[in-house]
Amino acid sequence: MKPVALVAAVSLAIAGTAMAQQSGGDPVRGKAVYARCAACHDLNTGATRLGPSLKGVVGRTSGTMPNFNYSQALKDKAVVWDAQSLDAFLAGPAKYVPGNRMAFPPLANPQDRADLIAFLEQSAR
């Protein structure tokens, strides 16, 4: 293997480990936390409920589900949803995206957020 390829492979491996540790949550517990979201968010079919479907939400840019009428605030935010941005949003939706229309209080418990995000990473596909 050429040195450059080796460096690339090693940094990919490190990035992979870092990502796996980002949410560090328990997806089984996270499924129970998701029960609070399910009334408004579909997980897998792409269907709109009160909120946009979370199908493929991890890695998706905010405000881009084509069949949902988003607030301008969420579209303008244009953040890629990952473990960090989801954590910040769920910890304080109105603070992270002022003017967004998700009527949901902050999810105050960091462990709940980590577990929920682990569940979304695994199941919102």
Collapse the DSSP code of 33 into the 3-class scheme (helix H, G, I; strand E, B; otherwise coil) and give the result. helix
- DSSP class of 109: -
Q: Toward ligand HEC, which CB reaches closer, 5 or 73?
A: 73
Q: Toward ligand HEC, which CB reaches closer, 1 or 39?
A: 39
Collapse the DSSP code of 92 into the 3-class scheme (helix H, G, I; strand E, B; otherwise coil) and give the result. coil
Q: Please report how close the Cβ of residue 81 comes to ligand HEC at its closest, in angstroms.
A: 6
Q: Please report how close the Cβ of residue 65 comes to ligand HEC at its closest, in angstroms.
A: 5
Q: Please report how close the Cβ of residue 70 comes to ligand HEC at its closest, in angstroms.
A: 4
d(CA 99, CA 46): 24
Residue ranges in contact with ligand HEC by CB under 6 A = 36-37, 39-41, 50-52, 57, 62-63, 65, 70-71, 73-74, 81, 86, 90, 100-104, 107, 116
Q: Please report how close the Cβ of residue 95 comes to ligand HEC at its closest, in angstroms.
A: 14
Contact (Cβ atoms closer than 8 angstroms) between residue 9 and residue 22: no
Rg over CA atoms, the chain: 16
If one counts every other C-beta atom within 10 angstroms of the C-beta of residue 49, the result is 14
Q: Toward ligand HEC, which CB reaches closer, 5 or 93?
A: 93
